[in-house]
Amino acid sequence: MMNRREFLGAGALAGGLLAATALNAHAASGGRNKLRVGIIGVGARGQNHLALLLRRDDVELTAICDIEPIWIQRALARIAKAGKPKPKVYGADGDVHAYRQMLAKQKLDAVFIVTPWEWHAPMAIDAMRAKVAVGCEVVAGITLEDHWDVLRTQQATGTPYMLLENVCYRRDVMAVLQMVRAGLFGELEHLQAGYQHDLRGVKLNSGNPDGGIGVEFGPKAWSEARWRTEHSAKRNGDLYPSHGIGPCAMYIDINRGNRFTRLNSFASKARGLNDYILAHGGKDNPNAQVKFALGDLVTTQLACANGETILLQHDTSLPRPYSLGFRVQGTHGLWMDVNQSIYIEGTSKTDDAWEPAQPYLDKHDHPLWKRFADQAVGAGHGGMDFFVVHAFIEALKAGAPMPIDIYDAVTWSAITPLSEQSIRQGFQTVDFPDFTAGQWQQRKPIFAFDDRY
């Protein structure tokens, strides 16, 4: 009987052949320079993707799906204002599985999945089985088994899948990637990053679509507070790792010459959301009695096959300015984004003193930003949203491998259930699964080596 590793190895080989076939098919059909695209989820984040797709002449927005009438109305208004044809609408009747009708009835080349996290894996699996290429917002799944299921489906169908991790395309992050590849930092040894963002006003609101401070979450709340806060109430781990780990993984060639080997996580006490509820809702508010599971600060450490270490921090329930906390450190120096500074031994003007990073970032500006900076003006998150959407569309049109592929998606996203496991087991170190079944030793880096995508 074939064991799990043999099965995955065989599946990966078959998946590689199927992927090549699917990519060629997409190139043949999608080579017509216009892709038929659908969006599942046109809420707050979905509206960002919608706006970018409406800018493009190589996209025909064929269908949208959402179960919230107000978001459907706003999407249709945006589409009409852009002078584009009205797409077919699914989900207006509140059917949470209406997206399946969209996949079955519309002849789509690609679909954007921009829905609550728990829907990402099943929706991606259904889309890949329908041979519709997937651009999936982070995260890839909830449980570790979700990640294996998404991976197996991609391998079995060969359908292109890209995780839409926009921070990989942040301008300073890409400039630092150029520096890493040029050897400025020497051999990399340690990286730090995280998701450090005060989300109390996102996780808790008034329930009014027009805004307002409040302390509701779940059915009485609006937008992300309807679903995202439930994860903070019930889960304890690094719930949102890819913004930080994505760039770090690209710097040290994870899944392409390197891999994560072990992980452990620690969680602090949970106080931030309760304090916010008390401050804005009072002690008599029912939500003041909720015991949130998510530690206010979750710290995760990863070990890598090539000897590097990585430290991630998840910090979303306390007052703080936004920061992803990047630190890239090698044998010749380091860069840190918090103080926007750099130090390169033998190059920096003063020993043991920081110097501003901006001149280095300007000098090593990535070709993608040099080429597309003007087109990225007005796109979300400082322009990087343009690049991640552009990469998915252009790779699909070209029949090329996805720049952030299925292995990246499941590896980065699996940090969440593994961190939960570590914390649950008393902060123990756990083994990190090899989703590539050994292929990481032969696979070569492909991300952002030119100005195409």
Average pLDDT over residues 335-355: 94
Q: How many CB atoms lie within 10 A of CB 58?
A: 15
Domain termination residue (choose one: 131, 166, 201): 166
Q: How many CB atoms lie within 10 A of CB 45?
A: 18
Q: Residues 419-428: pLDDT tens digits?
A: 999 999 999 9
pTM for the whole structure: 0.93
Domain count, the chain: 2
Is the pLDDT at 18 greater than 50? The verdict is: no
| Positive or negative torsion for Cα 255, 256, 262, 266 | negative
Pair (81, 153) in one structural domain: yes
What CATH number has the domain bearing residue 42? 3.40.50.720
What CATH number has the domain bearing residue 314? 3.30.360.10
Pair (158, 215) in one structural domain: no
* Dist. CA 99–CA 94, nearest whole Å: 11
pLDDT value, residue 32: 56
Q: Residues 215-238: pLDDT tens digits?
A: 999 999 999 999 999 999 999 999
Pair (101, 205) in one structural domain: no
In a domain, 89, yes or no: yes
Pair (180, 285) in one structural domain: yes
Which long-range contacts (C-beta less than 8 Å, at least 24 apart) are formed by 438-441? 438/9, 439/12, 440/254, 440/255, 440/256, 440/257, 440/258, 440/259, 440/305, 440/407, 441/257
Strand partners, 113: 40, 136
Average pLDDT, the chain: 93
Nearest alpha-carbon partner for 141 in 159, 177, 117, 123:
117
Pair (160, 278) in one structural domain: no
Q: Residues 148-204: pLDDT tens digits?
A: 999 999 999 999 999 999 999 999 999 999 999 999 999 999 999 999 999 999 999
- Residue pair 132/159 in contact (Cβ under 8 Å)? The answer is yes
Pair (136, 203) in one structural domain: no
Pair (152, 181) in one structural domain: no
* Dist. CA 236–CA 228, nearest whole Å: 13
Pair (283, 331) in one structural domain: yes
Domain termination residue (choose one: 166, 184, 209): 166
Q: Residues 286-322: pLDDT tens digits?
A: 999 999 999 999 999 999 999 999 999 999 999 999 9
Domain termination residue (choose one: 133, 166, 199): 166
> The domain containing residue 21 runs over which residues?
4-166
Pair (156, 15) in one structural domain: yes
Is the pLDDT at 8 greater than 90? The verdict is: no
Share of the chain above pLDDT 90, in %: 91
Is the pLDDT at 30 greater than 80? The verdict is: no
Is the pLDDT at 21 greater than 70? The verdict is: no
